[in-house]
Chain A
Protein backbone atom coordinates (compact mmCIF):
# COMPACT_ATOMS: atom_id res chain seq x y z
CA UNK A 1 0.00 0.00 0.00
CA UNK A 2 1.45 3.39 -0.94
CA UNK A 3 1.36 5.94 1.84
CA UNK A 4 -0.81 8.98 1.23
CA UNK A 5 1.88 11.21 2.60
CA UNK A 6 5.47 10.41 3.21
CA UNK A 7 7.75 12.89 4.97
CA UNK A 8 11.51 12.39 4.80
CA UNK A 9 14.16 14.21 6.83
CA UNK A 10 12.15 17.40 7.14
CA UNK A 11 14.16 20.12 8.88
CA UNK A 12 13.45 23.74 9.57
CA UNK A 13 15.37 26.17 11.75
CA UNK A 14 14.76 29.81 12.51
CA UNK A 15 18.32 31.08 12.42
CA UNK A 16 20.12 29.32 15.26
CA UNK A 17 16.76 28.33 16.76
CA UNK A 18 15.76 24.80 15.78
CA UNK A 19 12.17 24.37 14.55
CA UNK A 20 12.13 20.68 13.74
CA UNK A 21 14.98 18.35 12.91
CA UNK A 22 15.07 15.47 10.41
CA UNK A 23 11.49 14.31 10.90
CA UNK A 24 10.41 11.29 8.86
CA UNK A 25 7.11 9.42 8.86
CA UNK A 26 4.48 7.84 6.60
CA UNK A 27 0.76 8.49 6.77
CA UNK A 28 -1.57 5.93 5.20
CA UNK A 29 -5.06 6.55 3.78
CA UNK A 30 -7.70 6.77 6.49
CA UNK A 31 -5.13 7.09 9.24
CA UNK A 32 -5.19 9.73 11.96
CA UNK A 33 -1.81 10.66 13.33
CA UNK A 34 -1.39 12.78 16.42
CA UNK A 35 1.64 14.94 17.07
CA UNK A 36 1.99 15.88 20.73
CA UNK A 37 4.57 17.81 22.69
CA UNK A 38 4.91 20.89 24.81
CA UNK A 39 4.74 24.45 23.51
CA UNK A 40 7.77 25.26 21.38
CA UNK A 41 8.54 21.61 20.63
CA UNK A 42 8.24 22.24 16.89
CA UNK A 43 4.92 20.52 16.21
CA UNK A 44 3.26 23.54 14.61
CA UNK A 45 6.42 24.27 12.61
CA UNK A 46 6.35 20.72 11.33
CA UNK A 47 2.67 20.96 10.39
CA UNK A 48 3.12 24.27 8.59
CA UNK A 49 6.14 22.93 6.68
CA UNK A 50 4.21 19.88 5.51
CA UNK A 51 1.23 22.01 4.49
CA UNK A 52 3.54 24.33 2.57
CA UNK A 53 2.71 27.42 4.63
CA UNK A 54 6.35 27.95 5.51
CA UNK A 55 9.38 26.86 3.50
CA UNK A 56 11.39 23.96 4.92
CA UNK A 57 15.19 23.98 4.91
CA UNK A 58 15.73 20.36 3.94
CA UNK A 59 13.69 17.26 3.27
CA UNK A 60 10.90 15.91 1.13
CA UNK A 61 7.13 15.85 1.47
CA UNK A 62 5.80 13.28 -1.00
CA UNK A 63 2.03 13.29 -1.47
CA UNK A 64 0.11 10.66 -3.43
CA UNK A 65 -1.85 12.97 -5.76
CA UNK A 66 -5.08 11.78 -7.37
CA UNK A 67 -3.90 12.55 -10.88
CA UNK A 68 -0.17 11.82 -11.04
CA UNK A 69 0.59 9.55 -8.08
CA UNK A 70 3.36 10.39 -5.58
CA UNK A 71 4.80 13.90 -6.05
CA UNK A 72 7.18 15.94 -3.93
CA UNK A 73 5.08 18.94 -2.90
CA UNK A 74 8.17 20.93 -1.97
CA UNK A 75 9.50 21.02 -5.53
CA UNK A 76 6.05 21.08 -7.13
CA UNK A 77 5.18 24.36 -8.94
CA UNK A 78 3.39 26.84 -6.70
CA UNK A 79 0.07 26.90 -8.62
CA UNK A 80 -0.22 23.12 -8.25
CA UNK A 81 0.66 23.26 -4.57
CA UNK A 82 -1.91 25.98 -3.91
CA UNK A 83 -4.49 24.03 -5.92
CA UNK A 84 -3.77 21.00 -3.76
CA UNK A 85 -4.12 23.23 -0.70
CA UNK A 86 -7.68 24.17 -1.57
CA UNK A 87 -8.96 20.90 -3.01
CA UNK A 88 -7.35 17.72 -1.72
CA UNK A 89 -5.93 19.21 1.47
CA UNK A 90 -7.59 21.05 4.29
CA UNK A 91 -6.13 23.08 7.12
CA UNK A 92 -8.03 23.69 10.34
CA UNK A 93 -6.49 26.51 12.38
CA UNK A 94 -6.59 26.72 16.12
CA UNK A 95 -8.15 30.16 15.91
CA UNK A 96 -11.16 30.04 13.56
CA UNK A 97 -10.56 33.70 12.74
CA UNK A 98 -7.39 32.61 10.89
CA UNK A 99 -9.29 30.14 8.76
CA UNK A 100 -12.55 32.01 8.14
CA UNK A 101 -13.46 35.18 6.33
CA UNK A 102 -15.12 37.06 9.14
CA UNK A 103 -16.86 39.60 6.88
CA UNK A 104 -18.41 36.99 4.61
CA UNK A 105 -21.57 35.03 5.49
CA UNK A 106 -21.39 31.41 6.65
CA UNK A 107 -22.70 30.24 3.29
CA UNK A 108 -20.08 32.28 1.44
CA UNK A 109 -17.37 30.86 3.65
CA UNK A 110 -18.38 27.29 2.86
CA UNK A 111 -18.89 28.10 -0.83
CA UNK A 112 -15.53 29.78 -1.34
CA UNK A 113 -13.59 26.59 -2.05
CA UNK A 114 -16.29 25.44 -4.46
CA UNK A 115 -16.13 28.73 -6.35
CA UNK A 116 -12.34 28.58 -6.31
CA UNK A 117 -12.46 25.33 -8.25
CA UNK A 118 -14.97 26.64 -10.75
CA UNK A 119 -18.50 26.18 -9.35
CA UNK A 120 -20.65 28.82 -11.05
CA UNK A 121 -24.21 27.87 -10.13
CA UNK A 122 -25.49 29.87 -7.19
CA UNK A 123 -28.29 27.43 -6.34
CA UNK A 124 -25.95 24.42 -6.26
CA UNK A 125 -23.34 26.24 -4.17
CA UNK A 126 -25.99 27.30 -1.70
CA UNK A 127 -27.48 23.81 -1.46
CA UNK A 128 -24.05 22.32 -0.80
CA UNK A 129 -23.32 24.99 1.82
CA UNK A 130 -26.68 24.33 3.46
CA UNK A 131 -25.97 20.60 3.53
CA UNK A 132 -22.56 21.11 5.11
CA UNK A 133 -23.84 23.50 7.74
CA UNK A 134 -26.29 20.76 8.69
CA UNK A 135 -23.52 18.20 8.94
CA UNK A 136 -21.58 20.38 11.37
CA UNK A 137 -24.73 21.09 13.36
CA UNK A 138 -25.22 24.75 12.46
CA UNK A 139 -28.89 25.74 12.12
CA UNK A 140 -30.04 26.29 8.52
CA UNK A 141 -31.30 29.75 9.41
CA UNK A 142 -27.77 30.95 10.13
CA UNK A 143 -26.52 30.52 6.57
CA UNK A 144 -26.57 34.25 5.82
CA UNK A 145 -25.11 35.34 9.17
CA UNK A 146 -21.52 36.38 9.50
CA UNK A 147 -19.14 34.19 11.54
CA UNK A 148 -18.52 37.14 13.86
CA UNK A 149 -22.02 36.56 15.27
CA UNK A 150 -21.19 32.88 15.99
CA UNK A 151 -19.91 31.40 19.23
CA UNK A 152 -16.37 30.00 19.37
CA UNK A 153 -17.55 26.42 18.94
CA UNK A 154 -19.78 27.31 15.99
CA UNK A 155 -16.93 29.20 14.34
CA UNK A 156 -14.71 26.15 14.68
CA UNK A 157 -17.40 23.90 13.21
CA UNK A 158 -17.92 26.36 10.37
CA UNK A 159 -14.20 26.30 9.68
CA UNK A 160 -14.32 22.53 9.47
CA UNK A 161 -17.29 22.62 7.08
CA UNK A 162 -15.53 25.19 4.91
CA UNK A 163 -12.49 22.93 4.68
CA UNK A 164 -14.25 19.63 4.07
CA UNK A 165 -16.64 20.87 1.38
CA UNK A 166 -14.28 19.88 -1.46
CA UNK A 167 -13.97 16.34 -0.02
CA UNK A 168 -10.25 16.51 0.77
CA UNK A 169 -8.26 13.37 1.55
CA UNK A 170 -5.74 14.93 3.91
CA UNK A 171 -6.61 17.27 6.76
CA UNK A 172 -4.13 19.21 8.86
CA UNK A 173 -5.42 20.26 12.25
CA UNK A 174 -3.58 22.63 14.53
CA UNK A 175 -5.08 22.44 18.02
CA UNK A 176 -8.66 22.24 16.68
CA UNK A 177 -10.15 22.19 20.18
CA UNK A 178 -7.89 24.81 21.76
CA UNK A 179 -9.75 27.63 23.43
CA UNK A 180 -13.08 25.77 23.63
CA UNK A 181 -14.76 24.85 26.87
CA UNK A 182 -15.00 21.13 27.70
CA UNK A 183 -18.62 20.49 26.69
CA UNK A 184 -18.19 22.25 23.34
CA UNK A 185 -14.91 20.41 22.90
CA UNK A 186 -16.61 17.06 23.50
CA UNK A 187 -19.25 17.74 20.87
CA UNK A 188 -16.63 18.90 18.39
CA UNK A 189 -14.52 15.79 18.94
CA UNK A 190 -17.57 13.59 18.51
CA UNK A 191 -18.37 15.31 15.24
CA UNK A 192 -14.79 15.12 14.02
CA UNK A 193 -14.61 11.42 14.77
CA UNK A 194 -17.75 10.81 12.80
CA UNK A 195 -16.61 12.88 9.81
CA UNK A 196 -13.19 11.22 9.78
CA UNK A 197 -14.75 7.78 9.69
CA UNK A 198 -17.50 8.65 7.23
CA UNK A 199 -15.22 10.40 4.72
CA UNK A 200 -12.20 8.15 5.26
CA UNK A 201 -10.02 11.18 5.98
CA UNK A 202 -6.34 11.03 6.76
CA UNK A 203 -5.53 13.51 9.47
CA UNK A 204 -2.40 15.00 10.97
CA UNK A 205 -3.51 16.33 14.32
CA UNK A 206 -1.27 18.63 16.30
CA UNK A 207 -2.25 19.14 19.90
CA UNK A 208 -0.90 19.31 23.42
CA UNK A 209 -4.07 17.74 24.77
CA UNK A 210 -3.48 14.03 25.29
CA UNK A 211 -7.18 13.32 25.78
CA UNK A 212 -7.86 14.59 22.25
CA UNK A 213 -5.33 12.25 20.66
CA UNK A 214 -6.56 9.34 22.79
CA UNK A 215 -10.01 9.86 21.25
CA UNK A 216 -9.04 10.60 17.65
CA UNK A 217 -5.56 9.39 16.77
CA UNK A 218 -4.51 5.94 15.67
CA UNK A 219 -0.82 6.66 15.90
CA UNK A 220 1.16 9.11 17.94
CA UNK A 221 4.39 11.00 17.49
CA UNK A 222 5.91 12.73 20.52
CA UNK A 223 8.12 15.76 19.88
CA UNK A 224 10.56 17.55 22.15
CA UNK A 225 12.87 20.43 21.16
CA UNK A 226 12.32 19.82 17.46
CA UNK A 227 13.11 16.10 17.63
CA UNK A 228 10.75 13.13 17.46
CA UNK A 229 11.45 11.24 20.68
CA UNK A 230 8.88 8.48 20.44
CA UNK A 231 6.37 7.05 17.97
CA UNK A 232 3.87 4.24 18.13
CA UNK A 233 0.22 3.30 18.41
CA UNK A 234 -1.66 5.83 20.53
CA UNK A 235 -2.68 3.47 23.30
CA UNK A 236 0.76 1.92 23.37
CA UNK A 237 2.53 5.26 23.73
CA UNK A 238 0.11 6.64 26.29
CA UNK A 239 -0.16 3.48 28.39
CA UNK A 240 3.45 2.34 28.20
CA UNK A 241 5.61 5.38 27.50
CA UNK A 242 9.28 4.47 26.90
CA UNK A 243 11.03 7.82 26.60
CA UNK A 244 11.61 9.84 29.73
CA UNK A 245 9.92 12.90 28.25
CA UNK A 246 6.83 10.94 27.21
CA UNK A 247 6.62 9.51 30.72
CA UNK A 248 6.75 13.02 32.12
CA UNK A 249 4.13 14.20 29.62
CA UNK A 250 1.71 11.39 30.41
CA UNK A 251 2.17 11.86 34.14
CA UNK A 252 1.40 15.57 33.81
CA UNK A 253 -2.20 15.03 32.73
CA UNK A 254 -4.62 16.29 35.33
CA UNK A 255 -7.47 14.05 36.43
CA UNK A 256 -10.72 15.38 37.69
Chain B
Protein backbone atom coordinates (compact mmCIF):
# COMPACT_ATOMS: atom_id res chain seq x y z
CA UNK B 1 0.00 0.00 0.00
CA UNK B 2 2.79 2.43 0.90
CA UNK B 3 3.70 2.94 -2.76
CA UNK B 4 0.99 5.59 -2.84
CA UNK B 5 0.77 8.77 -0.85
CA UNK B 6 -2.18 8.50 1.54
CA UNK B 7 -5.38 8.52 -0.54
CA UNK B 8 -3.50 8.69 -3.86
CA UNK B 9 -3.28 12.49 -4.24
CA UNK B 10 -0.17 14.39 -3.11
CA UNK B 11 -0.50 16.62 -0.07
CA UNK B 12 -0.28 19.85 -2.03
CA UNK B 13 -3.18 18.81 -4.25
CA UNK B 14 -5.26 17.85 -1.24
CA UNK B 15 -4.61 21.27 0.32
CA UNK B 16 -5.75 22.92 -2.90
CA UNK B 17 -8.95 20.86 -2.93
CA UNK B 18 -9.59 21.53 0.77
CA UNK B 19 -9.33 25.27 0.13
CA UNK B 20 -11.97 24.90 -2.60
CA UNK B 21 -14.16 22.84 -0.25
CA UNK B 22 -13.89 25.44 2.52
CA UNK B 23 -14.81 28.20 0.13
CA UNK B 24 -17.72 26.13 -1.12
CA UNK B 25 -18.95 25.60 2.44
CA UNK B 26 -18.62 29.32 3.16
CA UNK B 27 -20.74 30.20 0.12
CA UNK B 28 -23.34 27.40 -0.06
CA UNK B 29 -24.32 26.50 -3.61
CA UNK B 30 -21.56 28.55 -5.26
CA UNK B 31 -19.45 26.62 -7.77
CA UNK B 32 -15.78 26.97 -6.83
CA UNK B 33 -13.34 26.34 -9.70
CA UNK B 34 -10.46 24.05 -8.77
CA UNK B 35 -7.47 22.53 -10.54
CA UNK B 36 -8.91 19.07 -11.08
CA UNK B 37 -6.24 16.37 -11.48
CA UNK B 38 -6.19 13.47 -13.83
CA UNK B 39 -7.27 10.38 -11.91
CA UNK B 40 -6.63 6.71 -12.74
CA UNK B 41 -10.18 6.34 -14.06
CA UNK B 42 -12.09 7.89 -16.94
CA UNK B 43 -14.05 11.13 -16.67
CA UNK B 44 -17.64 10.31 -15.89
CA UNK B 45 -16.68 7.59 -13.45
CA UNK B 46 -16.54 9.91 -10.46
CA UNK B 47 -13.17 11.64 -10.74
CA UNK B 48 -14.55 14.74 -9.02
CA UNK B 49 -16.08 12.78 -6.16
CA UNK B 50 -12.92 10.74 -5.73
CA UNK B 51 -10.75 13.84 -5.45
CA UNK B 52 -13.07 15.40 -2.87
CA UNK B 53 -13.16 12.14 -0.92
CA UNK B 54 -9.36 11.85 -1.04
CA UNK B 55 -9.00 15.39 0.30
CA UNK B 56 -11.40 14.71 3.20
CA UNK B 57 -10.18 11.26 4.31
CA UNK B 58 -8.19 10.60 7.48
CA UNK B 59 -6.62 7.19 8.23
CA UNK B 60 -9.27 6.47 10.90
CA UNK B 61 -12.24 7.00 8.58
CA UNK B 62 -14.61 4.34 7.34
CA UNK B 63 -15.72 4.76 3.74
CA UNK B 64 -18.89 3.67 1.99
CA UNK B 65 -19.41 4.05 -1.76
CA UNK B 66 -22.77 3.75 -3.49
CA UNK B 67 -23.78 3.89 -7.12
CA UNK B 68 -27.52 4.35 -7.79
CA UNK B 69 -28.02 3.40 -4.14
CA UNK B 70 -26.24 0.06 -4.45
CA UNK B 71 -22.98 -0.98 -2.79
CA UNK B 72 -22.24 -3.79 -5.22
CA UNK B 73 -22.22 -2.16 -8.66
CA UNK B 74 -19.05 -1.73 -10.72
CA UNK B 75 -18.52 1.95 -9.98
CA UNK B 76 -19.06 1.52 -6.24
CA UNK B 77 -16.87 -1.57 -5.98
CA UNK B 78 -13.97 -0.11 -7.94
CA UNK B 79 -13.92 3.19 -6.05
CA UNK B 80 -14.16 1.34 -2.72
CA UNK B 81 -11.22 -0.86 -3.78
CA UNK B 82 -9.34 2.26 -4.88
CA UNK B 83 -9.47 3.74 -1.40
CA UNK B 84 -8.75 0.40 0.28
CA UNK B 85 -5.60 0.18 -1.80
CA UNK B 86 -4.39 3.80 -1.81
CA UNK B 87 -5.50 4.94 1.66
CA UNK B 88 -5.75 1.68 3.57
CA UNK B 89 -8.97 2.90 5.19
CA UNK B 90 -11.72 0.65 6.45
CA UNK B 91 -14.73 0.28 4.17
CA UNK B 92 -18.31 -0.61 4.94
CA UNK B 93 -21.65 -0.99 3.23
CA UNK B 94 -23.56 0.21 6.28
CA UNK B 95 -24.77 3.80 6.06
CA UNK B 96 -24.75 4.22 9.83
CA UNK B 97 -21.19 2.89 10.23
CA UNK B 98 -19.64 5.15 7.57
CA UNK B 99 -17.85 8.42 8.28
CA UNK B 100 -17.73 9.37 4.64
CA UNK B 101 -20.09 8.22 1.90
CA UNK B 102 -19.32 8.80 -1.74
CA UNK B 103 -22.43 8.58 -3.87
CA UNK B 104 -23.57 8.64 -7.44
CA UNK B 105 -27.24 9.41 -8.20
CA UNK B 106 -28.74 8.74 -4.75
CA UNK B 107 -28.92 9.96 -1.15
CA UNK B 108 -29.12 7.09 1.37
CA UNK B 109 -32.60 6.49 2.79
CA UNK B 110 -31.35 6.48 6.36
CA UNK B 111 -31.03 10.06 7.69
CA UNK B 112 -27.40 11.14 7.97
CA UNK B 113 -25.74 12.48 11.11
CA UNK B 114 -23.72 15.62 11.80
CA UNK B 115 -20.45 13.65 11.95
CA UNK B 116 -20.87 12.27 8.44
CA UNK B 117 -19.84 13.62 5.05
CA UNK B 118 -21.71 12.85 1.83
CA UNK B 119 -19.69 13.30 -1.37
CA UNK B 120 -21.52 13.50 -4.71
CA UNK B 121 -20.11 12.71 -8.13
CA UNK B 122 -21.29 15.45 -10.47
CA UNK B 123 -21.25 15.21 -14.28
CA UNK B 124 -22.46 18.76 -15.10
CA UNK B 125 -22.42 21.22 -12.20
CA UNK B 126 -24.02 24.12 -14.08
CA UNK B 127 -27.83 24.00 -13.78
CA UNK B 128 -28.19 26.63 -16.51
CA UNK B 129 -25.92 24.84 -18.99
CA UNK B 130 -28.53 23.54 -21.41
CA UNK B 131 -30.38 26.85 -21.42
CA UNK B 132 -27.40 29.15 -21.74
CA UNK B 133 -24.32 27.57 -23.31
CA UNK B 134 -21.92 30.46 -22.56
CA UNK B 135 -19.98 29.99 -19.32
CA UNK B 136 -19.24 33.74 -19.07
CA UNK B 137 -22.97 34.41 -19.23
CA UNK B 138 -24.02 31.74 -16.71
CA UNK B 139 -21.41 33.00 -14.26
CA UNK B 140 -22.83 36.51 -14.62
CA UNK B 141 -26.35 35.16 -14.15
CA UNK B 142 -25.29 33.48 -10.90
CA UNK B 143 -23.52 36.56 -9.62
CA UNK B 144 -26.51 38.79 -10.40
CA UNK B 145 -29.11 36.23 -9.29
CA UNK B 146 -30.80 36.20 -12.70
CA UNK B 147 -32.58 32.90 -12.51
CA UNK B 148 -35.68 33.54 -14.62
CA UNK B 149 -34.32 31.15 -17.23
CA UNK B 150 -34.50 28.22 -14.81
CA UNK B 151 -38.25 28.71 -14.60
CA UNK B 152 -38.46 28.90 -18.39
CA UNK B 153 -37.23 25.31 -18.41
CA UNK B 154 -39.91 24.27 -15.91
CA UNK B 155 -42.50 26.24 -17.94
CA UNK B 156 -41.52 24.28 -21.04
CA UNK B 157 -41.92 21.04 -19.10
CA UNK B 158 -45.48 21.89 -18.10
CA UNK B 159 -46.37 23.25 -21.55
CA UNK B 160 -45.19 20.04 -23.17
CA UNK B 161 -46.09 17.35 -20.63
CA UNK B 162 -48.76 18.92 -18.45
CA UNK B 163 -46.59 18.65 -15.36
CA UNK B 164 -42.98 19.32 -14.40
CA UNK B 165 -41.39 16.34 -16.11
CA UNK B 166 -37.85 16.93 -14.82
CA UNK B 167 -37.40 13.89 -12.61
CA UNK B 168 -33.69 13.98 -11.79
CA UNK B 169 -31.08 16.73 -11.39
CA UNK B 170 -34.03 18.85 -10.30
CA UNK B 171 -32.80 22.43 -9.72
CA UNK B 172 -32.83 23.80 -6.18
CA UNK B 173 -32.42 27.22 -4.61
CA UNK B 174 -29.85 27.27 -1.81
CA UNK B 175 -30.39 29.73 1.07
CA UNK B 176 -32.39 32.04 -1.24
CA UNK B 177 -29.24 32.84 -3.18
CA UNK B 178 -27.72 30.29 -5.57
CA UNK B 179 -29.54 27.95 -7.91
CA UNK B 180 -27.76 24.61 -7.73
CA UNK B 181 -27.80 21.34 -9.64
CA UNK B 182 -28.04 18.62 -6.98
CA UNK B 183 -26.29 16.16 -9.38
CA UNK B 184 -28.49 13.54 -11.08
CA UNK B 185 -30.24 12.36 -7.94
CA UNK B 186 -33.94 11.56 -8.42
CA UNK B 187 -36.18 14.44 -7.37
CA UNK B 188 -37.51 12.04 -4.73
CA UNK B 189 -34.23 12.70 -2.88
CA UNK B 190 -34.44 16.51 -3.09
CA UNK B 191 -36.11 16.93 0.34
CA UNK B 192 -33.18 14.98 1.84
CA UNK B 193 -30.76 17.70 0.71
CA UNK B 194 -31.66 19.52 3.94
CA UNK B 195 -29.44 17.26 5.97
CA UNK B 196 -27.43 17.19 9.19
CA UNK B 197 -24.36 15.94 7.29
CA UNK B 198 -21.91 18.00 5.28
CA UNK B 199 -22.63 17.54 1.56
CA UNK B 200 -19.84 18.08 -0.95
CA UNK B 201 -20.21 18.02 -4.74
CA UNK B 202 -17.21 17.32 -6.97
CA UNK B 203 -17.19 17.65 -10.77
CA UNK B 204 -13.84 16.41 -12.08
CA UNK B 205 -14.14 17.07 -15.79
CA UNK B 206 -15.84 20.44 -15.28
CA UNK B 207 -13.38 21.32 -12.47
CA UNK B 208 -15.94 22.62 -9.99
CA UNK B 209 -16.60 21.95 -6.31
CA UNK B 210 -19.67 23.13 -4.43
CA UNK B 211 -21.08 22.34 -1.03
CA UNK B 212 -24.01 22.40 1.38
CA UNK B 213 -23.15 22.92 5.05
CA UNK B 214 -25.33 21.01 7.57
CA UNK B 215 -28.93 22.21 7.91
CA UNK B 216 -28.75 24.52 4.89
CA UNK B 217 -32.12 25.61 3.51
CA UNK B 218 -32.61 23.96 0.11
CA UNK B 219 -35.83 24.63 -1.83
CA UNK B 220 -36.80 22.83 -5.05
CA UNK B 221 -37.92 25.32 -7.70
CA UNK B 222 -41.57 25.21 -8.78
CA UNK B 223 -44.63 27.25 -9.73
CA UNK B 224 -47.35 28.33 -7.30
CA UNK B 225 -49.94 26.34 -9.23
CA UNK B 226 -47.59 23.44 -10.03
CA UNK B 227 -45.84 22.75 -6.72
CA UNK B 228 -42.79 20.50 -6.41
CA UNK B 229 -43.76 16.84 -6.12
CA UNK B 230 -41.13 14.27 -5.06
CA UNK B 231 -42.83 11.46 -6.92
CA UNK B 232 -42.20 7.77 -6.35
CA UNK B 233 -43.29 4.48 -7.93
CA UNK B 234 -46.63 3.46 -6.42
CA UNK B 235 -45.52 0.10 -4.97
CA UNK B 236 -44.01 -1.27 -1.78
CA UNK B 237 -40.53 -2.82 -2.04
CA UNK B 238 -40.92 -6.44 -3.19
CA UNK B 239 -38.12 -7.59 -0.88
CA UNK B 240 -38.48 -5.63 2.36
CA UNK B 241 -41.97 -4.13 1.99
CA UNK B 242 -40.82 -0.54 2.55
CA UNK B 243 -43.47 2.01 1.56
CA UNK B 244 -41.45 5.20 1.67
CA UNK B 245 -38.20 4.37 -0.12
CA UNK B 246 -37.07 5.06 -3.68
CA UNK B 247 -37.59 2.02 -5.89
CA UNK B 248 -35.83 0.47 -8.87
CA UNK B 249 -37.91 -1.34 -11.44
CA UNK B 250 -36.30 -4.71 -12.16
CA UNK B 251 -37.35 -6.67 -15.26
CA UNK B 252 -37.47 -10.36 -14.26
CA UNK B 253 -38.36 -12.13 -17.52
CA UNK B 254 -39.30 -11.43 -21.13
CA UNK B 255 -43.06 -11.80 -20.55
CA UNK B 256 -43.60 -8.50 -18.80
CA UNK B 257 -42.64 -9.71 -15.34
CA UNK B 258 -41.18 -7.01 -13.14
CA UNK B 259 -40.59 -6.20 -9.52
CA UNK B 260 -39.96 -3.00 -7.62
CA UNK B 261 -37.17 -3.09 -5.06
CA UNK B 262 -35.42 -0.47 -2.91
CA UNK B 263 -32.57 1.16 -4.81
CA UNK B 264 -30.72 1.63 -1.49
CA UNK B 265 -29.39 -1.91 -0.97
CA UNK B 266 -28.10 -1.31 2.56
CA UNK B 267 -31.47 0.10 3.65
CA UNK B 268 -33.27 -2.90 2.15
CA UNK B 269 -30.93 -5.50 3.69
CA UNK B 270 -31.05 -3.86 7.11
CA UNK B 271 -34.84 -4.00 7.06
CA UNK B 272 -34.89 -7.62 5.92
CA UNK B 273 -32.40 -8.63 8.64
CA UNK B 274 -34.49 -6.85 11.26
CA UNK B 275 -37.61 -8.65 10.01
CA UNK B 276 -35.77 -12.00 10.21
CA UNK B 277 -34.60 -11.27 13.77
CA UNK B 278 -38.16 -10.46 14.76
CA UNK B 279 -39.37 -13.80 13.41
CA UNK B 280 -36.54 -15.62 15.20
CA UNK B 281 -37.31 -13.87 18.49
A residues whose Cβ falls under 8 Å from a Cβ of B: 78-79, 82, 86, 101, 104-105, 107-108, 111-113, 115-117, 120-123, 125-126, 143-144
Contacts and interface: CB of A to CB of B under 8 A. Distances in A.
14 contacts: A78-B144, A86-B148, A101-B152, A108-B152, A108-B155, A108-B159, A115-B148, A115-B152, A116-B149, A120-B222, A120-B224, A122-B155, A122-B223, A143-B159
Contact of B159 (A113, A116, A121, A144): A144
B148 A107 contact: no
Contacts of B224: 120-122
Contact of A105 (B156, B222, B226): B156
Nearest to A109: B152
A112 B149 contact: yes
A79 B147 CA distance: 13
A147 to B, nearest CB: 13
Contacts of A120: 151, 222-224
A82 B159 contact: no
Tell me which of B148, B152, B156, B223 has the highest count of chain A C-beta atoms within 10 A of its own C-beta.
Answer: B152
| SS of A interface (majority) | helix
Given A78-B144, A116-B146, A144-B160, A111 B226 contact: no
A82 B144 contact: yes
Contacts of A104: 152, 156
A79 B222 CA distance: 24
Tell me which of B145, B156, B158, B226 has the highest count of chain A C-beta atoms within 10 A of its own C-beta.
Answer: B156
Contacts of A123: 225
A246 B226 CA distance: 57
A122 B163 CA distance: 11
Nearest to A111: B155
A113 B148 CA distance: 7
Interface in B188-224: 222-224
A190 to B, nearest CB: 30
Interface size bucket, B side? Answer: 10 to 19
B223 A82 contact: no
Contacts of A78: 144
Given A79-B144, A82-B146, A120-B224, 5 more contacts: A86-B148, A101-B152, A108-B155, A108-B159, A115-B151
Contacts of A117: 148
Interface of B: 131, 144-146, 148-149, 151-152, 155-156, 158-160, 222-226
A147 B144 CA distance: 28
B226 A122 contact: yes
Contacts of B152: 101, 104, 108, 111-112, 115
Nearest to A82: B144
A144 B157 CA distance: 11
Given A120-B224, A121-B225, A122-B226, A108 B148 contact: no
| CB-CB nearest 6 A-B residue pairs | A116-B148, A115-B151, A122-B223, A115-B148, A121-B224, A79-B144
Nearest to A77: B144
B148 to A, nearest CB: 3
A107 B144 contact: no
A72 B156 CA distance: 37
Nearest to B224: A121
A125 B159 CA distance: 11
Contacts of A144: 159-160
B165 to A, nearest CB: 13
B146 A107 contact: no
A108 B225 contact: no
B93 to A, nearest CB: 42
Nearest to A114: B148
Contacts of A111: 152, 155
A107 B225 contact: no
A198 to B, nearest CB: 26
A251 B264 CA distance: 79
Contacts of B149: 112, 115-116
Contacts of B160: 105, 144
Contacts of A122: 155, 158, 223-226
A113 B152 CA distance: 9
A123 B224 CA distance: 9
A110 B222 CA distance: 19
A108 B156 contact: yes
A146 to B, nearest CB: 10
Nearest to A106: B159
A107 B222 CA distance: 17
A122 B152 CA distance: 10
B148 A112 contact: yes
A107 B159 contact: yes
A120 B226 CA distance: 9
Tell me which of A105, A115, A144 has the highest count of chain B C-beta atoms within 10 A of its own C-beta.
Answer: A115
A111 B156 CA distance: 10
A82 B224 CA distance: 26
